[in-house]
Amino acid sequence: MASSASTSILLIFPCFLLFQAFHSLSMTTARTTATTTTTTTTTPTTKRDKPLVLPLRTQKVASLSLPSPPNKLLFHHNVSLTITLSVGSPPQNVSLVLDTGSELSWLLCDSKTSPSFRPRASSSYSPIPCSSPTCRSQTRDLPIPASCDASRLCHVALSYADASSSEGTLAADLFSLGASPPLRTAFGCMAASYSSAAGDPAAAGMLGMNRGSLSFVSQTNTRRFSYCISDRDSSGVLLLGHAALSFLPLNYTPLVDISLPLPYFDRVAYSVQLEGIRVGTVLLPIPKSVLVPDHTGAGQTMVDSGTQFTFLLGAAYDALKIEFLRQTKGVLTPLDEPSFVFQGAFDACFRVPERRPLPRVPAVVLMFRGAEVEVSGERLLYRVAGEVRGGDGVWCLTFGNSDLVPLSAFVIGHHHQQNVWVEYDLENGRLGFAPVRCDLASQRLGVVL
């Protein structure tokens, strides 16, 4: 969920005006160019001499346990990517959702019902006043401006289109990852949080990793990081820093930057250029004009670990759906229920007999400048929990229609990044991709490092 907390579309899409807030899916009005300077509340850092390796866990959580508030989208998340770090003095261990589509990291503070951070138990904790330069200027990349509360402290509020929201005080404390020295970091200490899901039972908040000035990446001056998202629970890995990994033949595509502020272009997201889409060997007839941002910024392509599935603008989605149905005719049985739309955006659904393996279907290849990402096998279809038709389960294509959200962007979610090494190389302005089994990559990392 991009800027929010927990899990499946894991936190994503902005809901038109009401939810133009906090996520890589947010179609927000970019305010200023993203920077990589550290905040005034953060101790300046240098590049790490040795990369830091952390386990990245895929955590499934229950969903739809709470009713959606009025005027909020029906999205919910049921998968999160979590890492563990320590915060405060003495250190408190917390698990956070990793989200490259969000900026501000946050922790639920003093919760009696969920994992949380206890600020009063930390001698290094300090709330940030609204008069601070951090509050006045470094919140500029947040889609919703910070405000002052009754105590003249910097108040932040986050909201996501999956109906999750959170609000509290901007604060600073010491964050430690692995054996690295603690770094003073600005974050949201949230007193209230609402989630459309039951919540990740292990997570106390979210680690924002986009290019905004208050993201964890910017505050720690991290110039390169990478991860492998596993299709299993615990064999994923997060690498902070750079290592020469000869066993990973990375192909790179440049990051796309637009200097002018545009209403629907998120300038702190990891935006790349989608060149085309293939189904099997067939190149879809998608006009180039559909794949590039228009004069408003709508149509950018974002890579986002906080979104579960992948979303395509309507024209591209329609072309994919038509060709996929054509190539799977006689192999997959369409659901043929026009009113059934999974999570409000996935309407290419099928009936698959229970207790049988999924049939073989053609791969879908996302084509970027200089790189490709292939989506195949079980990553193409998703079992809709609780939906049974006779002796059949309901499975949906894991590409959604952005126009149904509505969302004015292409978003590559973490489900389609499974068993792909993804490198965010800010130093050279590019993203790298390489197919790899995460469990084997983790083993090789242990040998190389």
**Residues noted as catalytic:** 99, 304
Strand, coil or helix: what is 308?
A: coil
DSSP 171-188: EEEEEE-TTSPPEEEEEE
AA identity, residue 59: Q
* 392-397 and 300-303 strand pairing: unpaired
Q: Structure tokens of 159? A: 């909201």
**Contacts of 207 by beta carbon, 8 Å cutoff, 6+ apart:** 83, 85, 96, 97, 98, 99, 105, 216
DSSP 386-433: EEEETTEEEEEESEEEGGGTT-SEEEE-GGGGBTEEEEEETTTTEEEE
Strand, coil or helix: what is 284?
A: coil
Q: Are 274 and 366 in contact (CB under 8 A)?
A: yes
| Nearest-angstrom CA–CA distance, 174 and 184 | 4
DSSP 34-60: ---PPPTTS------SS-EEEEEEEEE
What count of other Cβ atoms lies within 10 Å of the Cβ of residue 420? 20
Strand, coil or helix: what is 329?
A: strand
Strand, coil or helix: what is 163?
A: coil
